[in-house]
Structure 1
Amino acid sequence: MVRRSSGEQVALYLRRLIFDGRLRQGDRVPQDEIARTLGISRIPVREALLTLEREGWVTIKPHRGAFIGALDEAAVRDHYTLYGLIYGFAARRAIQRHTPELAAGLAAICAALDGESDPATVGRLNHDFNRLILETASSPRLRAVLRAMVGIVPGNFFELVPGSVEVERAGTAAVLAAVRAGDADRAAEEYAVMLSRQGDLVVELFKSRDLFPAAA
C-alpha cells in the first residue's frame, strides 16, 4: 500500500468531492468543515489546496479563501499527453539498457492482463508494467518528474473510467511488441498512443459528469 501524507489524503478527498459533483465550479472550499470531517488540523488542508491550485482544480484568492476552478478539456488532454511522453522516454531508455528480464517480465504481465476484468487487479498489473519499464530505464530524474505528477481521476482509474481496461490491454501489448523488436521509437510511440486514448476516455467521463466549464 502507498502511504500518503495528511496533505495528500486531503487532496484526494477534495478531488473526490469535485469528481462526485459535491463541490462545483465557483464554490468556496469549506476548509474548517473538511478539517473537522477528516479529524485533522487546517495545516494539511492548506497544503492540499496549494497542490490543487498547481493542478488547476482550485483558485486561492488572498483574504477570501479557495474556490473550485475547472479543468478544461485541453488541460486533461495535455496531462495524458505528458504522461505518454514521459513513459515513452522511459521505454526508450529501457530498450537502450535492455536486460534479458525486461521482455520476459513485460510478457508475463501482459499475459496476466489478457482477459482480466477486475479493476483492482488491472491497476496492480498496470503499476507492475510501468514499474518494470522505469526500473530498467534506471533514471532517477524520470522518477522525480513522475512523482511531481498526480492522477486527476480520484480512485481506481480502471474502475471509474469506462473502456480503460481494453485500452490498457491493447496498449501494453503494443509496447511489449516494440520492446521485443528492440524498436525504441515504436515503443515510445505506442506509449504515447495508449495514454492519449486513456486521455480521450477521461475527457468523455468528465463531460458526462459536467466537470468542464460551460462554453462561452
Structure 2
Amino acid sequence: MENFQLENKDSIETKACNAIRKAILSGDFPPGKKLVQEQLARQLGISRMPIREALKQLEIEGLVKIEPYRGAFVNEVDTEAIHENYVLRSELEKMALEKAYPFITEKDLADMDSLIKGMDQADHEAFVQTNIDFHHLLLKRCPWKRLSTFIQVLWNGYSQQTPEFLHGQMEKSNEGHKQIVQALKDQEPERASSLLHDHILNTGKRLIAFIEAKDG
C-alpha cells in the first residue's frame, strides 16, 4: 500500500507511528481492522518493539484501541478530537509566538527564510520535516517552557502529515509561513501571531473536510 511505508526521519518508533497513522487517516487501515504487531513489523521491515510503542502512542491520539488479550484495533477517526487539537494548537502557538517575539534574532529570521525557500522546492516527505523545523524555529525563543511542552504534545499527531493528504496544502502552508515571517520583519508581532493562529486553524478545517469527504 502506497500510504503504508517508513519515512526517512526521526526514530524507528516515530517512523512506525507516522506510517500507521498515515495508513489510518488515508483509509488504508479502515475502522475495526486488527493491527497485528508481527504483520506490521514484517511489512515495515523492523522489530515488534517500535510497533508496540507506536500503537500505544496512537491509542493516546484516539486512532487505535488496545484491548487486553485481543490486540489493537483501528478506531473510527474522531473529527472532534482533531478539531480540539488544532484549536488548542492555534491558541497556544499564538501565545508562544507573542512570548518569543522579543527574543527572535536576525539570524532566526534568516534561517526561517532559508527553510521557506527549501519548502518551495521540497517533495512531500522533505516538506513535512522542513515544516516541523520551521514551526520549532518560530517558537524556540519562547521563554515559557511549560507552554512549549504543551505545544510539543499537540504536535505529536496529525499535524506532521497534513501535506501528504491535502491537495495544495504545501503551497497554502508555505504562503502562510511567508506572511508570518514578513509580519515579524515588519515588527508587527500581533499580526504575526494572528496569522499563525489562522494558519493552524485553517489546516485543521481542511484536514477534517478531507476525512469527512473520504468517509462520505
TM-score (norm: length of structure 2): 0.77
- Contact 2:17–2:58 (8 Å) recurs in 1: yes
**Structure with the greater alpha carbon radius of gyration:** 1
Shift of residue 24, structure 1, vs aligned partner: 1.2
Tell me which residue corresponds to 2:18: 12
Cross-structure match for 2:198:
193
Q: Partner of 1:87: helix, strand, or coil?
A: helix
Deviation per CA, 1:159-215, whole angstroms, max 9, x where unpaired?
4311312322332233224323433333222111001111121112212332xxx8x
Give the aligned partner of residue 173 of structure 2: 168
1:25 equivalent in structure 2: 31
Gaps in structure 2 of 5+ consecutive residues: 1-7
Moved more, 47-56 or 60-69: 60-69
Structure 1 residues 46-195: aligned runs within 5 Å? 46-107=52-113, 109-110=115-116, 112=117, 118-119=123-124, 122-123=127-128, 125-137=130-142, 139-148=144-153, 149-152=155-158, 155=161, 157-195=162-200
CA contact (8 A) 2:163 2:170 kept: yes
User: In structure 2, do the counterparts of structure 1 residues 114 and 12 end up closer, same or farther at CA, with 3 Å as the change threshold?
Assistant: closer
**Equivalent pairs: percent with the same residue?**
26
Kindly tell me the number of residue pairs found equivalent between the two proteins: 208
Gaps of 5+ in 1: none
Q: Secondary structure at the match of 1:60?
A: strand
**Greater relative CO, 1 or 2 (CA 8 Å, sep 6+):** 1
What is the deviation of 1:143?
4.3
Q: Give the whole-Å Cα distance in 2 for the aligned partners of 1:154 and 1:92.
A: 23
Contact 1:15 1:154 in 2 (8 A): no
User: For 1:204 and 1:79, how far apart are their aligned partners in 2?
Assistant: 15
Alpha-carbon deviation of 1:118?
A: 4.6
Is 1:2–2:2 an aligned residue pair? no
Partner secondary structure for residue 136 of structure 1: coil
